């Protein structure tokens, strides 16, 4: 049921929204004629990652074309795979707990269903970006991390190395997960009183070495890419998070009506699971849920604002796991069914409410308006400047020279001004430079000098 419903929600209406500037960057890198050119383009277009997603999208475009629906289908496929990976994570998390194998299967199925039906896990599957790949890689990595900690084994350690490297390479925000796992390993080792003869402590040390090895694999590219990311993506439009942002993160992502129900179920699941003796599983889920958002808050105040919902996508998984455990721990099948029905109904209501409002900018219509306003020899530009790739996507191939990157020293005749991701006060300065309004559209304004 989770796979069927989640798959339908992730593949529905993939082409309905217009291309976003972020998607334009992914398309521009992936549409290069060769894989070598994809690798060459990627650092400037998508800083903060390595070209794993762009190379996959490059191959996907070769097979299915570069329509928006086709490119977004890759993300939807990773979104569906993540539903199954949530099931596997839960099985590993509770494998050595007080729950029976049948109990674990039920909790895993409920967790996968809550994950599949939630808006925050769906909307990123509708974007031709790297975040569904990052989430799938993180879930696979967490499953193998828990398995290696439970069983050891060279193959499991090697899987941790490969999957950690893949997750971080897909987006550097995935560094939050091995950092969280490092805290858990520290707890495991300290609990064992640093005794090298403790089996779990030895496995903990081995996994710590595996996580370090994964980091060393990426070191040659990590620092240069992080420098590019800090220069290009940590712009002035991001604000410092308030102290309550980690809690608000879950409220915003699950919906104002669904959140109280899911939160109550998660609290009940944590309490009942702790009393039942499933303490390590509950503690790890709580650490996974809260450590990355708190790390983002700390980094925002010490380095630069980086508190972004999509960077913490995997943190919603333990929230759904605890809520699923809370449903399972309710007395009686009727009460369980009622709680599940309420959680699913309000989650679907959140999706319906979200879909009723437009969430894209009308760049295609803006480009048409700008093109009709251009005189022979004139060119158009766009702000934010990285949205130039959207113009190049929608313009005919023989008219690409009509769109240029914004350059205040050589101003274009027409400006397409996006309403998002602008530094405070920037919009007014652009309006002063381009006083004639040609068209006001959803999310964008077309103006002429």
CA distance 298 to 313: 18
Q: Supply the DSSP symbol for 125.
A: G
Predicted local confidence at residue 224, as pLDDT: 54
CA distance 47 to 49: 6
Predicted local confidence at residue 410, as pLDDT: 86
Instruction: Identify the segments of the chain with pLDDT beneath 70.
Output: 194-197, 219-238, 424
CA distance 41 to 443: 28
Residue range 361-379, pLDDT digits in tens: 999 999 999 999 999 999 9
CA distance 351 to 118: 7
pTM: 0.93
CA distance 279 to 59: 44
Q: Give yes or no for a contact between 415 and 436, defined as CB atoms under 8 angstroms apart.
A: no
Predicted local confidence at residue 197, as pLDDT: 57
CA distance 330 to 265: 9
> What are the distances in angstroms from CA 121 to CA 11, 244, 282, 369, 372?
13, 22, 22, 35, 39
Q: Give yes or no for a contact between 159 and 151, defined as CB atoms under 8 angstroms apart.
A: no
Predicted local confidence at residue 221, as pLDDT: 63
Bridge partner list, 441: 444
Cis ω for the linkage preceding 186 (within 30 of 0)? no
Predicted local confidence at residue 225, as pLDDT: 52
Residue range 81-111, pLDDT digits in tens: 999 999 999 999 999 888 899 999 999 999 9
- The region, left, alpha or beta by phi > 0 then psi within -120 to 50, assigned to residue 235 is beta
């Amino acid at each position: 049921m989770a796979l069927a419903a989640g798959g339908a929600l992730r593949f529905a209406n993939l082409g309905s929204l217009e291309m976003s500037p972020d998607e334009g960057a992914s398309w521009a890198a992936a549409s290069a004629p060769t894989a070598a050119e994809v690798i060459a383009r990627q650092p400037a277009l998508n800083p903060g990652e390595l070209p794993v997603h762009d190379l996959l999208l490059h191959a996907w475009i070769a097979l299915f074309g570069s329509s928006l629906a086709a490119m977004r289908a890759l993300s939807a496929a990773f979104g569906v795979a993540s539903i199954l990976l949530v099931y596997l994570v839960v099985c590993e998390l509770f494998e050595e707990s007080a729950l029976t194998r049948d109990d674990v299967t039920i909790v895993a199925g409920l967790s996968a269903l809550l994950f599949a039906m939630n808006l925050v896990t769906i909307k990123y599957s509708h974007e031709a970006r790297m975040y569904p790949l990052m989430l799938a890689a993180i879930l696979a990595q967490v499953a193998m991390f828990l398995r290696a900690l439970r069983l050891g084994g060279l193959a499991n350690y090697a899987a941790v190395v490969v999957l950690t490297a893949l997750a971080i390479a897909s987006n550097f925000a995935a560094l939050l997960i091995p950092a969280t796992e490092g805290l858990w390993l520290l707890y495991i080792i300290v609990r064992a009183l640093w005794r090298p003869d403790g089996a779990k402590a030895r496995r903990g040390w081995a996994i710590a070495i595996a996580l370090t090895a994964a980091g060393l694999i990426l070191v040659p590219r990590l620092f240069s890419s992080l420098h590019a990311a800090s220069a290009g993506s940590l712009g002035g439009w991001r604000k410092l998070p308030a102290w309550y942002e980690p809690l608000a993160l879950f409220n915003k992502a699950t919906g104002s009506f669904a959140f109280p129900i899911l939160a109550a179920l998660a609290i009940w699941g944590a309490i009942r699971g702790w009393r039942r003796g499933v303490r390590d599983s509950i503690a790890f889920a709580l650490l996974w849920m809260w450590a990355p958002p708190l790390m983002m808050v700390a980094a925002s105040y010490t380095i630069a604002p980086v508190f972004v919902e999509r960077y913490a996508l995997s943190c919603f998984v333990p929230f759904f796991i605890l809520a699923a455990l809370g449903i399972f721990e309710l007395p009686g099948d009727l009460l369980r069914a009622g709680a599940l029905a309420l959680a699913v109904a309000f989650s679907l209501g959140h999706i319906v409410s979200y879909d009723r409002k437009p969430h894209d900018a009308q760049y295609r219509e803006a480009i048409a308006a700008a093109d009709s306003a251009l005189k022979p020899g004139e060119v158009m530009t766009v702000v934010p400047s990285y949205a130039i790739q959207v113009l190049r996507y929608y313009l005919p191939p023989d008219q690409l020279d009509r769109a240029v990157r914004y350059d205040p020293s050589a101003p274009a005749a027409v400006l397409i001004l996006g309403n998002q991701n602008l530094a405070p006060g920037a919009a007014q300065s652009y309006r002063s430079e381009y006083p004639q309004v040609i068209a006001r559209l959803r999310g964008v304004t077309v103006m002429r000098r």
